[in-house]
Structure 1
Amino acid sequence: MKTISYLILFILLCGVGLDIWQQNPQPTAPATQTVTPANPPDTAIQKVAETTSTAPPILQIDPGGHKALIKDIAFTPDGRYLVSAGHDKVIRVWDLETGQTVRTLRGQIGVGPEGKIYAMALSPDGRWLAAGGYPSRWGIRLYNFASGQLVALLKGHTNVVLSLAFSPDNRFLVSGGGDSKAILWNLAEFKATALNSTAKAKALDAILSGHTDDIYAVAFTADSQRVVTGSFDHTLRLWQVSDGKLLATLTGHTDKVYSVAVTSDLQGFGNLEGLNHGLIASGSWDYTIRLWDGQTGRFIKTLANQGTKVGSLSFSPDGQYLVSGVGTKGIGNDCYVWSIPDGQEIVIYREHDNVVIATAVSPDGQWVATGGGDNQEIHRWSLRNGHLKQRLRGVGASTWAVGFSADGRELGWGNTWTQSSPTNRGPLEYRLTLPKADAMDSFLVLRKITDGGSHFIRAQDVHGDWALSHRAGGHYGYKDAILDIRHHDSTVASIERSATDGYGHTSYTFTPNGQRIISGGGNGNLSAYNRDGDKLGDYVGHTGDVWAVAVSPDGQLLVSGSDDQTVR
């Protein structure tokens, strides 16, 4: 499908950075290329040879912090730095003394979702940094963390890489993907072993059949002998590192498993009879956190029901506490600290204003880091009492509302969420006059809007006898996965979204003539459709969820706002 060419008005929403540029729909060439064997295996680690890229770069404006969903965070072994990565295609290293980014790592990127980081991990000794995401053909990037040098591309997944973890002995990396496959990488010997249910276990083939859905969570046990994987098929599986054999299937969750954490050997917990190999904790979209035996996979207890989807889990180094994040938008944004093994709420942290799917505990056990919220902030707070120590963030802000003036000459937007309507999520707070075609290099002046933008035109979900409405559905059950196109109160077409095109319809509008429909979604997806529900093209550029759209009165311009902190 041909990408729609368009002119982007790219605004850094603190008001200090402006640029206007023509979108180049071609992805950049890689800064590095892999050396492929003459007969490459299906799964291989490939060393990197340096090359020089001749392709034009894609413009990036750096606000000093993340500008899309934060997927993973990790403390360095000395506790002085924090590493973070997410959908904005950037790995950031933060100095915790100053609160500033001291290094950024960027891999190969392209337009739209190409280059998004869905998983990141730092080895326990601080030597290796691994990052994976979309598309899978680019592989998992393995960096020397001290130098920032890319040393290998790990290729084997046939779908997006969703989860990564290093073994405590620093010898192995495990990855989970959208291909329902986990791969165990031997970093010392440059080998890869596919985790499969039939390895030396043919007699149990019917039971040990492997995951049947995305693997969003992976972790090693403390002795580096076993790997646990958590999947959207509602199960966890425990594998043997030495040969990839499946040891146990852990059932009990009634919805998707999104997070796992493992702690070291525990002592002194007499009420957890027979437990001497540590704990596995699993978090699910069924709102529960479950505990399992780290050696056998035996179910121990349901630790807690936190009332929201569990977005992330992290144990304290001593195994006495478990931190959980939140994976549900708009239904409470609290993070929790639970005592182990009784599940008592020690701390409820309420400073975030949106989902938190990245958590970490400092090596000394004093601090918790949580990443998320409307403006993709990282908070560092006390494990013991929840007191906020530090916010790590840039200078931008998410955009929740956009609109045009009645004459189409002014553009307005807002950074405040007040309601959950796909056509109006909050007031318009700033405006600027659009330059004429013959004066594109003219200076743009930002002005405040004092009345909330009542005279501006926003998204329109009704046009004459036609109307738009969303409903729940799809593979993931999102509340806005399906957009119904209705005529005279009857549904004539429906547009269903999945993981490949944004999960849901977060914003939508008719064009002024009513002939086309514009819909924004997750992960930067923004598309045009006709009234039969056929896709006409994609507007490529956003890296975060598109929360607001509007079309100029003459139907010539589209404006969109996103949590990637840009208006386009």
Structure 2
Amino acid sequence: VNSKAYIWDVPNAAIILTLPTSGAAIDSLDWTTQNNDKIVGASYDGPGPNLRVWDATTGQITFSKGMGQLATASWNSNGTLLLVGDGLEINTVNPANGQKQLLSANSIEVSAVTNVAWSPDGTKVANSGVCGQVTFYNASTGQFIAYSDPSRSAVNWISWSNDSTRLASASWDGTVRIWNADDGKLLNTIEPNAGRIFAVNWSPDDQNIVFGAEDGTAKIVPALSVTSTPTSIPEPVNPPPPASTTVRAVAWNPDGLWIARAFQNGTVDVINADTGAIVFTFNNGQSPATALAWRPGTGSTKLAAAVNSKAYIWDVPNAAIILTLPTSGAVIYSLDWTTQNGDKIVGATYDGPAPNLRVWDASTGQLAFSKGLVDLATASWNPNGTKLAIGSGLGIETVDTGTGQDQLLSANSYELSPVTSVAWSPDGSKIANSGVLGQVTFYNASTGQFIAYSEPSRSFVRWIAWSNDSTKLASASWDGTIRIWNAVDGSLLNTIELNVGRIFAVDWSPDDSHIVFGAEDGTVQIISPFTVIVTPTATASPTP
């Protein structure tokens, strides 16, 4: 309750124990009587250790550990190991020695883990994520068993049937899904029309489930309820990487002559914006290619790109690598280039060896600044090249590369889901960000004051891009849409619905008359932000 944990004697309505906590909200609890009577609690953030084990008879803390982006924790059947979701990873933690270990080399999820659960018979583990995936692993070997194609709506909770044969998932798209735990097949979809579903649990005989919803509904229904819609899906297979042609990044050069493209298969190329002819291509057999940035200024021919865990600067007309930038060995998710206050490039890495925020001198390739940050999403220069806007977990921060100081943009600059992209407006007056649940938010860059907030689309927004006149923002979403926003008041100007799968990237032409996007099916297309295939969308006035 809030940031406290209690144990009650229910028949007597009496509090038996109040458990010592860190003061942060506790997002999950799990109780075991095996290998002693104990409770584990997990907090996403907050001071000190966010994974805690209490003795359920005395209330004393018997184990604690600081974790990164901790989602939930679940005991194994004999009470000796914990399963934890930590960012994109599925890990086990041994409370006896404190050792943390990745479940397997393959237990890295496509989006941040929201819930983990060990099957009652101890043979399997399951997890869910913010983009809707539900995944099953062999608990002993870590071998992948099955994977559901993401519903692209956050799954908030999962619960095993007591016989370990089925799993129930509670989703923010308003559904409860029942899964076969042996092969990952979807058995039923229950649509109760109660808003977002936050919780689900099984009756002891596995005949019924109870769910809790956004509208206050807590209802018992048969797991194979008549309100369920049986759903046929393809046989689950090992989750394949996105198609080799998936476009991960696009960038229009400052003159408007060329467009750079970065592909999942590791290819980076540059095409003529008018004809589509390829003027430059690179592929060294490594993948993925994830980020792009042109050197600012008229006549720019230099392009920075991240491929696998390396970063390069090319002279495009000569197809020559000028510099290979020193990296940490982890995948780089964003690049941004400034020629103000020095010629320099910033790269942001979500995880991997510290530091994960790096600034390179673009003329020498030397590392000019570095800093370790938690759950770093992207980084964006301000117009004079002195500060960076970054998304770190749920917070929007600025980093002064001269002093190394980082500070929260404002007391209100916390988002309702992890930040995926941040961008400083070209005129320096505003900072915008996007998140995994679809929010797009605008702040005053000087004061940190909140300007406007879009009601989440509840689908992952992968990238945002400012128009060059700083009046509009484009967002690229995994629901297959591009949205155009009014940067003054946050109102939605247009929604472009494209039948190309998830949209990973978007950028503006130098004159702001067109946008270019890159999609899951390999499409790279130039369109007007007010093209005739746009569906105008009316929204209420934005509110925080």
Identify the TM-score tier after normalising by the shorter chain. Answer: 0.3 to 0.5
Higher relative contact order by CA 8 Å / sep ≥ 6: 1 or 2? 1
